[in-house]
A and B are shown apart, each in its own frame.
Chain A
């Protein structure tokens, strides 16, 4: 119920932290860039967003605080009273009220400033408005410092309260300080309450749990109560009183008969009488403690306390209205007797025997543990002797599991031999039918030769491709016929291809080579500057004149042709073009170097 929420209350930050968190969040989660030259609605929207975002954040967190903290009217009166005792109801309500007011104020501030910002006409003005708004909101938060601190402390303490369920079975220990309540709870439950010889060791309520009659019981240990009127009681005692007042439980009033606690029996009785009104409607037991020190006939034990409480609770329930409804619906139907034949309830043989053996503690079967104890060091845990196999003598076999990467368990099959036989028959048939014949007809000579040739061809091709890639020629390429081919390479290549190149001295190409060599040598001495060097290869036929001489009759015409050529090139050269095909348009004033502000940079790259 409300119990659980105490641990789930969100941490309440200090006011400074709160402001820091919200402001940094605003900065991170809203856009940060705005310029003077943006449109005014965009600037306004930008700043309004910031104001609203901050307001939203504050609002959310404060609302969360308000909902997390329990309302004293909504929780069980035991807890309400306990909180009152510990934290002062008024202070608590005030703190939460302050938080609420702060929340509303922040909302109002934001509304106002957003309204004002609609009329902001410049970036500067909007910015000032936003500053003012955020500033006011943060001031409001600064003023809440005290409340926030108080609430944080309350939260921490609340989360550490023991989880006492006000509705279940409870035993409440009360009495003077130092009578032995905490020792009792330590003995009876797993709680570990501090026990010391001085009074008021226990300063708050402690809970332990124990089992009795298959039920869970809460045992609540309280700080000791002194004998003075209610108004003069301090916080610690008030906790005990609260517990007494609100928890429906069995009360164990512990008395110290040995008077070790520092009070006489009479004083303890006095106290008992004083707080008697609190015990109304609760089963009460007086526990005389520390009787080992001073013997007195012991009164009661926990058993009686629990039984009494149970009876009391059942009584209470019976008297309650709800039970009547249930009772009405409960009706034990007994079949009417048909005839005189007795029909006792049927109890199966096994159950009857079982019941008998339970009652008579018959000697059980010898367990492994007994064996172990008997044999001591010689004992070996041998589970295989219980195995139930077809042949009992195979019990101690080592069972193989894996063979050559296969699980044997996958192959186990009672019919495996039959299947294997079928498979082998099938295999035989297949072999007979010739499925496994490798029809690799050994290829005849011709085919082998063809393969050989194909291989050579492929190699040669690859080689050629690699060679041509190696050449790596970018730009205009000279035609093949311009290159001079050596006689040696020609003859070698053709020889590789299988032709007979011996004795080719008077072949066409050899003759030409000799002729061109002699001609070239002579020309070198008599070359004039104006004559364009004609490049002719030795392999080229002499009957084909170079292009700048074909169709030219005499030197005069050649001169004129040359002049025409130069004239045509003048224009292109002046414009710095590479040739008549060069149509490139230069970008002398690129936009990115001539536009925009020149902040820190040069015109080279800006």
Chain B
């Protein structure tokens, strides 16, 4: 028994559940490479990690290997580690892809504030007070000067 990949969306098809997924891809003439939500699309348009050593571990080999207990147990261990590494790398790939977006966001915020600050704060909001204080200070100085 094995978990197959759906022809259309590349999602996992567990034994006994096949019909559910087959129904999904039975629509008329849809190219999985063009339907945005499938894995095929994401890989083809570079949204996910495609070429990497850790992905070479999981592939269908047509040579049957005789069962050996230690090999199988080692394989399970290796699978765990590989899975961990794979996840890290995939996450990093996506993070790198989205970095640029963060930069753009920052710049946009700055420009927004520069242009439309008047919607939340009047340009001379605190200035009246400052001006008043200045005037008071100046008067005081004058008075002092006058005293002297």
Contacts and interface: CB of A to CB of B under 8 A. Distances in A.
Interface string A492-511: 00101111100000000000
Interface string B26-67: 000000000000000000000000000110111111000111
A126 B61 CA distance: 79
Given A399-B72, A416-B74, A453-B117, A499 B128 contact: yes
A456 interface: yes
A599 interface: no
A499 B68 contact: no
B122 A494 contact: yes
A494 B118 CA distance: 11
A43 B140 CA distance: 115
A436 B93 CA distance: 10
Interface residues of A, number: 51
Contact of A417 (B54, B59, B60, B78): B78
A454 B57 contact: no
Interface string B96-130: 00000000001011101100111111101110110
A230 interface: no
A410 B67 contact: no
A400 interface: yes
Contact of A394 (B69, B85, B118, B126): B69
B67 A394 contact: yes
Interface string B73-87: 011101101110100
Contacts of A451: 109
B120 to A, nearest CB: 5
A457 B125 CA distance: 16
A450 B105 CA distance: 12
A527 B90 CA distance: 82
A405 B12 contact: yes
A406 B58 contact: yes
B1 A411 contact: no
Contacts, number: 130
A414 B53 contact: no
A403 B12 CA distance: 13
B88 interface: yes
Contacts of A417: 74, 78
A447 B57 CA distance: 44
B66 to A, nearest CB: 6
A469 to B, nearest CB: 17
Contact of B67 (A389, A426, A496): A389
Contacts of A461: 116, 119
B120 A420 contact: no
Given A450-B113, A498-B121, A498-B125, A411 B68 contact: no
B33 to A, nearest CB: 23
B122 A460 contact: no
A407 to B, nearest CB: 4
A544 interface: no
A293 B60 CA distance: 75
Contacts of B12: 405
Contacts of B113: 450, 453-454, 457
A436 B67 contact: no
B2 interface: yes
A404 interface: yes
Interface of A: 388-391, 394, 397, 399-414, 416-417, 419-420, 422-424, 426-427, 435-436, 438, 447, 450-451, 453-454, 456-458, 460-461, 464, 494, 496-500
Nearest 3 A-B pairs (CB), nearest first?
A: A498-B125, A497-B122, A454-B109
Given A404-B79, A414-B65, A454-B112, 9 more contacts: A399-B72, A400-B76, A401-B2, A412-B61, A416-B74, A420-B81, A453-B117, A461-B119, A498-B121
26 contacts: A388-B66, A390-B68, A391-B69, A401-B1, A402-B1, A405-B3, A405-B12, A406-B3, A406-B58, A407-B2, A408-B76, A409-B2, A410-B61, A411-B79, A419-B56, A419-B57, A420-B81, A423-B53, A423-B54, A423-B85, A436-B88, A450-B109, A454-B112, A460-B120, A461-B119, A497-B121
Interface of B: 1-3, 12, 53-54, 56-61, 65-69, 71-72, 74-76, 78-79, 81-83, 85, 88, 92, 95, 106, 108-110, 112-113, 116-122, 124-126, 128-129
